[in-house]
C-alpha cells in the first residue's frame, strides 16, 4: 500500500547542477502535481498533469520541467539549479478534480 | 487568480478544549472545493476535511467541523476536544479545476 512515493528524501545540489525528483503513485490516479513549500508561503503549485501525455503549468513553473509518459510516474526536472529553488517539494495525486489529493513525504532540496 | 488567507500564523489551545482556525479566500467562481490539511512534524500532508461549494451543509469528520460561509468566502475549521496529536501546521486550500491554492498555514499547539 505505497500510495505516492517520492525520491530522494533529501538532496544537496550546487548552483547550476541538474537533477530529477522522482514521483510514482500506485493508485491509478489521473491527476498528479508538484508543489513547493517555503516558510510562510504554504504550498505553491509548480506543474500538474491530468493524464499521461498531458501537462500544464501552475503558479510557479519557471526553472522546472515535467513530463508524464505513464499514469504512474511524474518526474520533476531542475535543469540548472539556483539557490532560490531551495525548498521542500511535494508530489501529489488524486483520482478526480476536487477529491482528496494524496501527498508524498516530500523532498528537502538545498541548492548551495 | 484565487488567493487563500489564513490570518492566524500561530495558535494554542489546552487539551480537551475547542479551537477555531480561520480561513478566507477570494474567487469569482461559484463551483469549487475547499480543504483543510494537517502537516505534523513528520512533514506528511494529511487531509482533515473537505467541502464542496455547492453543498450548503457544513462538513464534519469526527472532532473536526467547518463553518462554510460562501457569501463571505469564509471556511473556518473547528477542532473539538483537542488532543496532543492535533499539534501541527494546518493549511486551508482552495481548488478550482486542477488549480489548488494553499494558505500560508496556522501552527497549532495543543498544551497538556
User: Average pLDDT for residues B91-101, to the nearest whole number?
Assistant: 87
HSE, CB side, 13 Å, CA atoms: give it for residue A60.
17
Residue B111 confidence (pLDDT): 98
Cβ-defined contact of A98 to B95 (cutoff 8 Å): yes
Count Cβ–Cβ pairs < 8 Å, chain A vs chain B.
54
Q: Name B96's bridge partners.
A: B99
Measured between CA atoms, the residue of chain A closest to residue B34 is A98
Label residue B96 by pLDDT band (50, 70, 90): confident
Residue A1 confidence (pLDDT): 62
3-state secondary structure (DSSP) of residue A86: coil
Cβ-defined contact of A33 to B98 (cutoff 8 Å): yes
Phi-psi region of A24 (alpha: psi -120 to 50; beta: other; left: phi over 0): beta
Place of cell 510557479: A60
Please write the tens of the pLDDT for every residue from B10-34. Answer: 999 999 999 999 999 999 988 899 9
User: How many angstroms separate the CA atoms of B57 and A54, rounded?
Assistant: 35
Cβ-defined contact of B98 to A42 (cutoff 8 Å): no
Amino acid at each position: 500500500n505505497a500510495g505516492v512515493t517520492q525520491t530522494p528524501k533529501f538532496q544537496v545540489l550546487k548552483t547550476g547542477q541538474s537533477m530529477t525528483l522522482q514521483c510514482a503513485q500506485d493508485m491509478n490516479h489521473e491527476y498528479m502535481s508538484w508543489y513547493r513549500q517555503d516558510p510562510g508561503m504554504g504550498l505553491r503549485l509548480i506543474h500538474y498533469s491530468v493524464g499521461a501525455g498531458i501537462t500544464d503549468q501552475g503558479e510557479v513553473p519557471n526553472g522546472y520541467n515535467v513530463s508524464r509518459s505513464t499514469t504512474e510516474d511524474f518526474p520533476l526536472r531542475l535543469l540548472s539549479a539556483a539557490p532560490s529553488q531551495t525548498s521542500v517539494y511535494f508530489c501529489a495525486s488524486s483520482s478526480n478534480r476536487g477529491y482528496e489529493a494524496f501527498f508524498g513525504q516530500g523532498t528537502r532540496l538545498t541548492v548551495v | 487568480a484565487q488567493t487563500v488567507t489564513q490570518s492566524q500564523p500561530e495558535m494554542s489551545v489546552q487539551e480537551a478544549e475547542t479551537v477555531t482556525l480561520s480561513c478566507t479566500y477570494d474567487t469569482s467562481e461559484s463551483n469549487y472545493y475547499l480543504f483543510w490539511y494537517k502537516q505534523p512534524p513528520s512533514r506528511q500532508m494529511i487531509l482533515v476535511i473537505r467541502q464542496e461549494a455547492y453543498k450548503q451543509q457544513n462538513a464534519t469528520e469526527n472532532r473536526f467541523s467547518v463553518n462554510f460561509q460562501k457569501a463571505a468566502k469564509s471556511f473556518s475549521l473547528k477542532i473539538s476536544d483537542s488532543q496532543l496529536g492535533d499539534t501541527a501546521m494546518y493549511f486551508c486550500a482552495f481548488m478550482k479545476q486542477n488549480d489548488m491554492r494553499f494558505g500560508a498555514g496556522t501552527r497549532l499547539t495543543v498544551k497538556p
